[in-house]
Amino acid sequence: MTQRVELATVMDRLAVDGLVTDYAVAVDDGDWAAYRALFTPDGRADYRSAGGIEGDARTVAGWLADSMRLFAMRQHLIVNRRVSFGILEQDTGDTARVQADYVNPMRFAGPGGDAGAPDFVCGGRYAFGLLRTYDGWRLREVVVEEKWRRLPGRPTDPADRDHAG
């Protein structure tokens, strides 16, 4: 590899990493306009393994907006990011796949605020499919694979999947 190609790859990795971080921040902050803007026009998300829905980014953003009202605080962490670049129409680097683990602590909204409200924690793995566009990298696909969750007062039960994260 030449230095120019290596530098371009590093810049792409940083941009892809920034997009994944922007995704987490948009969900945690409930910024659904920003969430939708992260996707390509045909972008889709699949939260079924976490008890949610699958659909286009606009539909899923609406579902998330409703579902996340249950939680006064959200702060999910996306770690162990594995990035690979692919080829679209013979141009190297037009696509990317990211596989990344997540831990998602959230606090239920309680009466009169969140003081004393119980916490809900889940974890799993994301599969992101990205596409390089004229506006930069965008999400074409997000698939959530929830692997575990801990509800207040209950042990972790992988079969208990009734909220998304």
17 is written with which tokens? 């990493």
Summarize pLDDT for 87-143 with one digit per residue, the tens: 665 555 689 999 999 999 998 887 655 556 678 899 999 999 999 999 999 999 999
Residue 164 has pLDDT above 50, yes or no: no
Q: Where are the domains of the chain?
A: 3-150
Rounded distance between C-alpha atoms, residue 69 and residue 7, angstroms: 42
CATH number of 3-150: 3.10.450.50
Calculate mean pLDDT across residues 47-53. Answer: 97
